[in-house]
Amino acid sequence: MDLKIYKDKQEVAGQFSSYFVDQLKDKAAFHVALSGGSTPKIVFDVLAENFADKVDWGKVHFYWGDERCVPPSDDESNYKMTVEHLFSKIDVPEANIHRILGEKDPVNEAMRYANLLEINLDRVDDVPQFDLVILGMGDDGHTASIFPHEIDLWDSEDHCVMATHPDSGQKRVSINGKVINTAKEVAFLVTGASKAEKVEAVIEKTEGSDAYPASLVNPTSGNLVWFLDEEAAAKLNQNPS
């Protein structure tokens, strides 16, 4: 595990953007699963502003680790947020954008998306392998859309699952734990004081932390990077890098 701790979410976004572009070097094609949330939004802004014309976006294939079951025009859509903050500002082929169809029936869409991943990605032990999976973490310790009350979905046989938000009841489509842990590289983007308690629990494996899906992220490649701001890292017994 590689811990990278920066002053604030703006610095996290800048450093993560450089890391992301470095990952693309010397690759003919690069398959990445994106995350939603406030920190990726700033990352996308930085990528668009600083790297729009410095990256061959034609070799990057974009997917999502999870999506809310809403139309692509809905403000809750992770896809819509990515279009507004990144895709509308870079030259990326339409064929390289592989969105989860949030407007469709979630059970059927989870099956379709799993099949898409199986076709498009290389597989390791029959599990689709991303080059990079970007994850966030909720205040409750959820990641992608695997929530603590549905932690069994982590080990689902299906590569994509239908999940339910514990409070709103909103349906989500999410990749499962096997897909996350099969990725060549996994990166957490976590910022803000509200995350500090769960960051401490997950990283330092405190008692009871295995109830949080984020604690199950342990890629077989060994390549796990946490990008944190000082607020999110406040409870860690670590020195900033």
The mean per-residue pLDDT over the stretch 87-108 comes to: 98
Prediction pTM value: 0.97
* Per-residue pLDDT at 95: 98
Percentage above 90 pLDDT, the chain: 97
* Per-residue pLDDT at 237: 85
Between CA 146 and CA 66 the distance in angstroms is 9
Whether 131 has a pLDDT exceeding 70, the answer reads yes
pLDDT digits (tens, 9 = 90+) for 19-65: 999 999 999 999 999 999 999 999 999 999 999 999 999 999 999 99
* Per-residue pLDDT at 238: 61
* Per-residue pLDDT at 241: 45
The mean per-residue pLDDT over the stretch 78-107 comes to: 98
The mean per-residue pLDDT over the stretch 129-143 comes to: 98
* Per-residue pLDDT at 239: 47
* Per-residue pLDDT at 77: 98
Whether 240 has a pLDDT exceeding 80, the answer reads no
pLDDT digits (tens, 9 = 90+) for 163-190: 999 999 999 999 999 999 999 999 999 9
